[in-house]
Amino acid sequence: MDELAKILPQPERRIIGARSEYLAAFDALVAGLRHELRVFDPDCVQLELNAPARADALRRFLLASRDNRLLVVVHDADHIRKHSPRLMRLLTEFSASIAIHQTEGEAARAQDCFVLADMEHFVRRPVAAASRGVYAINEYQESRLIRERYDEIWRSSFPAVSATSLGL
């Protein structure tokens, strides 16, 4: 047996088939976060980031270390701006730790969604409009591929939500 395989926790995968399972997987990822959460979602509506318990969990994660990061890319940021005051408060409080971008170009046509936690765990739906997906923990190899995909999407996005509103 390979020495590295002896020390690394074994990968676990679970098929998810309902929106409630997707949210439960997301909550589990947030509960176990150590450093970084990367979210790619059409608009974050289904993640219910404005739910008090979810916003509190994200706040605890961001308070744990000033190096912790929450990076979000959406196709449409209106829901976050208009219907997520708790997330907007977090953005104001932790502006150096949170970035919310919106896709453009080729990335704006992506139809999947996923959440990547600490480059080790993820929940992914190949079609964002469908409920079916996978929740995986300790999936280092596949997480690396998802991170590469996220980085491509991030490069094809622009800052869409800020902690301050500017106006004349």
Mean pLDDT of the chain: 93
Provide the pLDDT confidence category of residue 129 given band limits of 50, 70 and 90: very high
pLDDT in tens, 6-29: 677 889 999 999 999 999 999 999
Residue 2 has pLDDT above 90, yes or no: no
Residue 168 has pLDDT above 70, yes or no: no
pLDDT at position 167, please? 43
Residues 6, 13: Cα–Cα separation, whole Å = 19
Residues 127, 18: Cα–Cα separation, whole Å = 13
Residues 36, 98: Cα–Cα separation, whole Å = 10
> Domains plus CATH for the chain?
11-161 (3.30.870.10)
Provide the pLDDT confidence category of residue 99 given band limits of 50, 70 and 90: very high
